[in-house]
A = this chain, B = another copy of it.
Amino acid sequence: MGSTSFQAPTGTRDFYPIELARRRYIERAWRAVSVRHGFEEIDGPTFESIDLYKAKSGEGIVSEIFHVHSGKDERSRAGAEQGGAREAPFALRPEFTPTLARMYASRAAQLPRPCKWFWQQSCFRAERPQRGRLREFMQWNCDIIGDGSPAADAEAIGVCVGLLEELGLTPEHVKVRFNHRGALAAVVSRLGVDEQHMPAAFVLLDRRDRLSDDDLEAMAFEFGITSFDFLRLLKRPRNAQGIDAMAAALPAEVARDAEALLEPLRTVESHLAGSGVGPWCSLDLNVARGLAYYTGMVFEVHEISGAMRAVAGGGRYDNLIETFGGPATPAVGFGMGDVVLSLVLQDKGLMPGDREIARALGLRPDVQVISNGSPESDALVPAVVGELRRAGVHARRSYKATKNIGKLLKEAADADARYAVIIESASEVTVKNLDDGTQVKAPRADLRAHLSPAR
């Protein structure tokens, strides 16, 4: 075999131990917060039928997914030769929600109500990689399925805020911006936009903080939206947030009904306050979420300056389970990726140092076993290390040739070991506590009694 040089595919990552520890630090927080909020973890296949993704998101998504097919599957190979969108029967998951909907739909009758499920694995997008966006990334989802109450809306936002708080973020760093598609649709409808133009109106609302008034007007014209009142709402100052600001922007004949129209927003707001996450959240008319399937409350988490992509986003999707063959079932959830979150944590100085992360992940060695340099002790190192490991102790030994005990003790300290154990003879060891510097001689048989439990 010849020697070749290979690289990771563009937009994917190699995780050496330090990089993986940083990723695991985030994943550990995702898991801990999910569990603490009463969510149970599920998982599904890494690839699914390509039709599963079309069912939720339409044909558009197909160009942004990775196609998968077996090298020996004749049926799929024949499909591949024809080219086109049906060339591969499978696709790498671009997101988890279709799998979740499929799993719920296929066992709906046996599952508890609500199901509170979380999921954390990698997703894949065949997009051009750029800052904050990769072709393979880690994703965390939390979903409450079978509960249509505003309390569930608030609980979904609550677990998301719980994660932000767990990692040291505060409302000074990030903001949860929420809205309600039902309330928004009612207002927009009263402003003279008909059902047919509603999706276009949501697209315009979603983009209004990135576009100028002129661009918004041109785009509305292109979409065939002619309501002057809607354009006025669209063009009002971008920073005028809150329910009252929204009510104030309505024309007189609509404003009269503002309280009734905006009631779903008031309800979400009061539930957020009631569960203690009010300070993190603010109503934001600009949050409409691009995806067609949201039906009620929607929210996004953004770094406060707004300079980065969303850290997380989600909302209520009451029709999706039915689309996947299940019974009509209300649901609410959100997703958060590791890439933007990591950038925010680094930017705010909240990514701990390597040693602190290793300790948080339980990776700190308990014992470094050292020979006192005699041939007898040298020969005993593997046995002592083996005994400790079999007893559940994280034990290491040196792979260096040196017999200098000072150097070996320094290696133990560099590894952040809690103890160094020096083998003095077949029956005696020295146990040195590397945290406080104390040391004692002990019979080898009593070694474990001299090691305090970690933490």
Contact = CB atoms under 8 A, between A and B. Distances in A.
Contacts of A325: 3-6
A92 B68 contact: yes
B383 A274 contact: yes
Nearest to A2: B323
A335 interface: no
Interface string A99-137: 100110111000001100100001010100000000010
A16 B107 contact: yes
B70 A126 contact: yes
A395 interface: yes
- Copies of this chain, whole number: 2
A67 interface: yes
A406 interface: no
B80 A71 contact: no
A446 interface: no
A213 interface: no
Contacts of A51: 4, 6
Contacts of A64: 71-72
A154 B5 contact: no
Contacts of A103: 14, 16
Interface residues of A, number: 105
Given A12-B45, A158-B389, A105 B5 contact: yes
Nearest to A114: B399
Contacts of A24: 41
A162 B389 contact: yes
B276 A390 contact: yes
Interface in A28-86: 35-38, 40-49, 51-52, 55, 62-73, 77, 80-81, 83, 85
Contact of A165 (B6, B40, B277, B390): B390
Contacts of A383: 274-276
Main secondary structure of the interface of A (DSSP, over half): mixed
A11 B442 CA distance: 55
A154 B8 contact: no
A194 interface: no
A7 interface: yes
A120 to B, nearest CB: 11
Contacts of A271: 382
A455 to B, nearest CB: 11
A445 to B, nearest CB: 15
A136 B38 contact: no
A260 interface: no
A47 B102 contact: no
A87 interface: yes
A105 B399 CA distance: 20
A147 interface: yes
Contacts of A162: 389-390
A218 B49 CA distance: 45
A232 interface: no
A365 B38 contact: yes
Contacts of A202: none
A215 B64 CA distance: 52
Given A67-B68, A389-B162, A55 B275 contact: no
Contacts of A65: 71
Contact of A49 (B6, B88, B102): B6
A46 B276 contact: no
A36 B379 contact: no
A407 interface: no
Contacts of A8: 44-45, 48, 102
Most interface-central of A43, A105, A165 (chain B CB within 10 A): A43
Contact of A37 (B6, B15, B85, B389): B389
A1 interface: yes
Given A5-B105, A17-B42, A102-B6, A362 B35 contact: yes
Nearest to A1: B323
17 contacts: A14-B45, A14-B103, A14-B106, A15-B43, A17-B40, A21-B41, A38-B395, A40-B363, A45-B136, A62-B71, A64-B72, A67-B68, A147-B399, A151-B382, A274-B383, A275-B385, A276-B383
A-B pairs with lowest CB-CB distance, top 3? A12-B45, A70-B126, A17-B40
